[in-house]
Structure 1
């Protein structure tokens, strides 16, 4: 066991079982519990403590209804949910590069305790790794009307992430980290959180680099966020006011949110939300986030931040496999989908031509996955580069055969490879079973790319504004190319990319 001394108090960690050179500390509070007088408010500093705080266990997860493999479940009464975890191979005075990870989960589920986010392998490459919990669902992203003339901030989950980055700036040197060499990274809603942080003045200067895996095309307008509040309040049986919402327990708002989402899921006539009813997202157009990430990226406000983007080539097949997506199996349903998202017929025709003989469901999954993740992520990198920033683009294309359908290069499949956690049984569904030797080799390349980018800003291939325009393709065979996925982008260039609102 090893003790580190911070300005808040001393903490004791444990040596990682798989690498005794790495010390793990879990459940360190970076802000006060966001309930009671702090509910629906910006995060407040955590209280200091006397003595040595044992940090062997993850902190409680944010209120949610999900039960994820290998991770703890939220229980009513769990309030100290704003905590972080550290994996470090160093100590005071080492000044190692720092990677701060923000988990995904559609802004309503997930936690830093998921086994695929274990930082031991990445820390073994000479980095300090930090993962964190933040407020989710209504607690983190629901719009709350003002009380007594004082507004409650939107995007409280993003403000929590900023508070964690501020904690890192103030304390990470005690764990061997360099406060001036921080990279913030995330996947899915965590990746869009990263893109939002790049656009937020309050996060300026807290990180030097950013990594976004499968950023999701979804930001709420103030109007759509207010509509969601009215729907959730009605489902919870309370007025859509501060007092009414405050009177509902966190668990009641989780249940109400699930009910609202389920109603959209069951109603094919409910428009865009029917297809994958993620009802929460960052609220753009207000004080905390004036511009959505893609618009902000094009404006160049974060051009001094190096950006590494990755997405998978078959993103949406995962959402279909786990039953969270609508089943679009007829041409009539596909036409309604295109109308709901204002997609031109030529775009669907282009996908059909590139997928000869594919069933309607596969065409839908390909188009929707690119609309939500693939094309959006690529444009984040390209707009950042056009605005003068350094941007690197990569795509995860690894598949694996097996019984029945192959395991595709779908959403989330790249993360166990990038963290070097293929041995975790909980990720075998994502990657198609126990890893093969070629999978370990691919994972090693991805971990080294992450480590290189975090340390020096160079992941090992050219920026996309380079004359070669190289894109790194992550597969069991290495290479840089304008891969086959590029052919699917032709239709989007003609159609434009709708910016979606949850």
Structure 2
């Protein structure tokens, strides 16, 4: 039951070698040119800054490299155009996300957003997109506003679903340390790319913030937990994806992978590598009555990449000791209204129960255990009227839905969202908070409402609302979200219509 409910709820540097070349130079046609470690790229100048799209950070993971750790990207001669995004990674069709099936596996590309003039010492924000580890792409998120606030923002594609998170005894026999975590290793390769190349775009490789929402937050949690990610980042932002959701064990993952392989008639890794992408994707489509949003393919613990789940690693202090910003939205589970036959508005009892059980209270538990060792700032996004980022009917009331804060931080060219004046003011405040946190590890700054560090019981949780940013006592948050109940149960409420 808990796994089914979570599937529905989640759908969604150290010493570094940097380039000594100038930050940028003008190309003949006026496009900005930057020299990366593999060759020069020509981006696009916009009213807000510079954008470089579709930069390869690893070799295409195709053919014999399917389900292998990412390999270095090849160098190129001349100037590579960087005006267009790289293709999205292979994934199933999702009406909820507004995308048809994608079979492309040549997808390990990233986009860089930078101010028009960059000093070489700006904070770097690396964004990992959400989508249940099975859907989405980094190119969906236009980070020009966030970059214009004084950041270099890097948005990353990584292998998804069966291609990013398959564990199988045949793959484990090749290298047991890698099975089940190819998507996380892709992200680590992207972070190494940032360490090498950030300065060329005006960023400081010694001040990198990893951030993400939903499964992207689960990705951030994975790096906080992974010894292989140590030193590649210095701050962490986790939006609507509590660390406790990163808990799939290798035996469970291998069992699921074996069943999937049998579905396509394979028993070996060699056979699986020979299967067309569409066949593998079709094998992961849920049966009628099951949710199309699946966490059956997700980061795998019990491996050198992810030795322990957060529930064991956090109390033992086995995680990256970096400042953290953690938060959720008030009506996380209202997106169920678009993917099941649940009736009622965002304030219905079932939406409140699932939001509290899967998001609000687990996020608080994360903050509570972490705040003894690292600075933690916690928020709840409560603004209820942000247009949906999903392909949902416009008349559907979602409240402060799962992902509602995203249009205040990013633009969505494929689904333009118009904020009202009060929301635009809130967006400016939030971009200020996120930028100050990336710069200093503390979201507070001149002109911003005070945001106290989190402390259990007596501390404050920042309330982000267009009518005014305030804060509420942790004790009130605990009571409002029924955490006395959900901190002491393994179950989640039954969701009608989800199989």
Q: Same fold (TM over 0.5)?
A: yes
Paired with 1:250 and 1:219, the residues of 2 have a C-alpha distance of 27
Quick one: which of 319, 337, 346 aligns to 2:336? 319
The answer on 1:365 being equivalent to 2:354 is no
Q: Which residue of 1 aligns with 2:460?
A: 470
The answer on 1:156 being equivalent to 2:182 is yes
Q: Which residue of 1 aligns with 2:361?
A: 375
Q: Which residue of 2 aligns with 1:295?
A: 312
Paired with 2:246 and 2:480, the residues of 1 have a C-alpha distance of 21
**Secondary structure at 1:143's aligned position in 2?**
coil
**Secondary structure at 1:49's aligned position in 2?**
coil
Q: Which residue of 2 aligns with 1:130?
A: 154
Is the deviation greater in 139-148 or in 436-445? 139-148
Is the deviation greater in 249-258 or in 488-497? 488-497
Q: Which residue of 1 aligns with 2:269?
A: 242
Alignment check: 8 A CA contact 2:235 2:322 kept: yes
Cα drift, residue 56 of structure 1 = 0.4
Q: Which residue of 1 aligns with 2:37?
A: 7
Higher relative contact order (CA 8 A, sep 6+): 2
Cα drift, residue 208 of structure 1 = 0.4
Cα drift, residue 51 of structure 1 = 0.5
Alignment check: 8 A CA contact 2:381 2:465 kept: yes
Q: Which residue of 1 aligns with 2:4?
A: none
Q: Which residue of 2 aligns with 1:205?
A: 231
Cα separation, partners in 2 of 1:33 and 1:479, compared to 1, 3 Å: same
Quick one: which of 439, 463, 483 aligns to 1:455? 439
Alignment of 1:108-187 (within 5 A): 108-114=134-140, 117-146=141-170, 149-151=173-175, 153=178, 154-187=180-213
Structure 1-normalised TM-score?
A: 0.81
Alignment of 1:19-168 (within 5 A): 19=48, 22-66=49-93, 75-76=102-103, 78-89=104-115, 94-114=120-140, 117-146=141-170, 149-151=173-175, 153=178, 154-168=180-194
Structure 2-normalised TM-score?
A: 0.82
Quick one: which of 235, 246, 250 aligns to 1:222? 250
Cα drift, residue 247 of structure 1 = 2.4
Cα drift, residue 418 of structure 1 = 2.5
Cα separation, partners in 2 of 1:250 and 1:405, compared to 1, 3 Å: closer
In structure 2, stretches of 5+ residues that fail to align are 1-30, 388-393, 445-450, 493-499
**Secondary structure at 2:360's aligned position in 1?**
helix
Q: Which residue of 2 aligns with 1:486?
A: 478
Paired with 2:96 and 2:348, the residues of 1 have a C-alpha distance of 27
Cα separation, partners in 2 of 1:69 and 1:90, compared to 1, 3 Å: farther
Cα separation, partners in 2 of 1:94 and 1:383, compared to 1, 3 Å: same
Alignment check: 8 A CA contact 2:357 2:486 kept: no
Cα separation, partners in 2 of 1:2 and 1:150, compared to 1, 3 Å: same
Paired with 2:78 and 2:238, the residues of 1 have a C-alpha distance of 38
CA deviation digits over 1:109-130, x for unaligned, max 9?
000111xx21100011110000
- The alignment yields a C-alpha RMSD, in angstroms, of 2.9
Q: Where is the helix percentage greater, Structure 1 or Structure 2?
A: 1
Cα drift, residue 163 of structure 1 = 0.3
CA deviation digits over 1:127-181, x for unaligned, max 9?
0000010000011001032369422612110000000000000111111110000
**Secondary structure at 1:413's aligned position in 2?**
coil
Paired with 1:393 and 1:439, the residues of 2 have a C-alpha distance of 20
CA deviation digits over 1:328-368, x for unaligned, max 9?
67xxxxxxxxxxxxxxxxxxxxxxxxxxxx89993222222
Cα drift, residue 70 of structure 1 = 10
Alignment check: 8 A CA contact 2:478 2:484 kept: no
Q: Which residue of 2 aligns with 1:269?
A: none
CA deviation digits over 1:51-104, x for unaligned, max 9?
00010000011101236899886644x332001100111667521110000000
**Secondary structure at 2:209's aligned position in 1?**
strand
Quick one: which of 409, 412, 418 aligns to 1:418? 409
In structure 1, stretches of 5+ residues that fail to align are 267-273, 330-357, 429-433
CA deviation digits over 1:33-60, x for unaligned, max 9?
1111211111110011110001000001
